[in-house]
Amino acid sequence: MKHHIIITGGAGFIGSHVVRLFVNKYPDYEIICLDKLTYAGNLENLKDVEDAPNYTFVKADICDLDTVLSVMRGHGVDGIIHLAAESHVDRSIRDPFTFARTNVLGTLSLLQAAKTYWESLPERYEGKRFYHISTDEVYGALENDGTLFTEQTKYQPHSPYSASKASSDHFVRAFHDTYGMPTIVTNCSNNYGPYQFPEKLIPLFINNIRHRKPLPVYGKGENVRDWLYVVDHARAIDTIYHHGIIAETYNIGGFNEWRNIDIIHVLIRTVDRLLGRPEGADLDLITYVTDRQGHDLRYAIDSTKLKNELGWEPSLQFEEGIEKTVQWYLDNQEWMDRVTSGDYQRYYEEMYKDR
């Protein structure tokens, strides 16, 4: 095996796409999917690779330093791609402590485990890499003036979620500066695509439109986000893991800004068309609700550095990506039903109850 890589949060939305890409693209790598299997972790997302000879699943909490260190030693891990995180802003507003534990202390635990193991080896950090995936939300908010987040933008997190991710970013960089650990940080815009947990806007609204349930829109729906198809994010992670410069930061974005209300109209048109409903049949489902606390107006990523230095750029335009995404959710209603009912969680709780 050329590389032995832990992908944390590998059973989650973005993580499962990264695991799938690495398992299929690099058959001579050992890929260890490490996931606690909280509500957002679902091994059904990885059914197509679960029997691959270069794939291993480990159920573990990233905050459990001893277990993480044991996994690293047992598999001779030389790379970590760290995606495990609590990521839903609304949940962070209700329960900031869980976000601090997972996103800050969990990242610190991984860093300390990597430091302990790699510094025990004769070659120490040579050939090693700790790649931390973060979010554009650490930068705060932009006005509707055409400006973009760059790698030099000052951190100004506004929610408990973004504050926890900002803190974890600082720890990663500190481990490079203090101990010489070979780290990389990336900050990505909003992802969409197959296997996203349906608390997030796009899968939630696709499912609600299908079942003619209300579509709750914060405020007037004027908040702007930059959207990236998840497979393109996985491609970027692959590129950066293999070719990114140690201690650098790379922004990953789609150059694809949409107001929330405009995306909702696209979703309604697309779902209605694919289900054979009259155009606009579900516009009446839009329901405006009280705006989220501390709701950032606009995020927009400048990923010029990544394009110029490493040659990555998005492969899909939003219209093509959203068509593929809507079709996937409509074709995989059984997956959606198991997730929304919680059946998948009960299954894995029973499977791992004695482990």
Catalytic residues: 136-137, 161
- Of 231, 242, 244, the residue nearest 19 (C-alpha): 231
Which regions of 25-168 does DSSP assign to beta strands (E)? 30-35, 55-59, 79-82, 129-135
Which regions of 50-145 does DSSP assign to beta strands (E)? 55-59, 79-82, 129-135
Please tell me the distance from the alpha carbon of residue 54 to that of residue 4, in angstroms, as a whole number. Answer: 9
Asked if residues 46 and 10 have their Cβ atoms less than 8 Å apart, the reply is yes
Please tell me the distance from the alpha carbon of residue 252 to that of residue 232, in angstroms, as a whole number. Answer: 9
> Helices 65-75 and 106-119 meet at what angle, rounded to 10?
40
Q: Which two tokens stand for residue 79?
A: 């790379």
The three-point CA angle 131-134-140 to 5° equals 150
- Of 347, 55, 342, 34, the residue nearest 197 (C-alpha): 342
Asked if residues 82 and 186 have their Cβ atoms less than 8 Å apart, the reply is no
- Hey, what amino acid is at 107? T
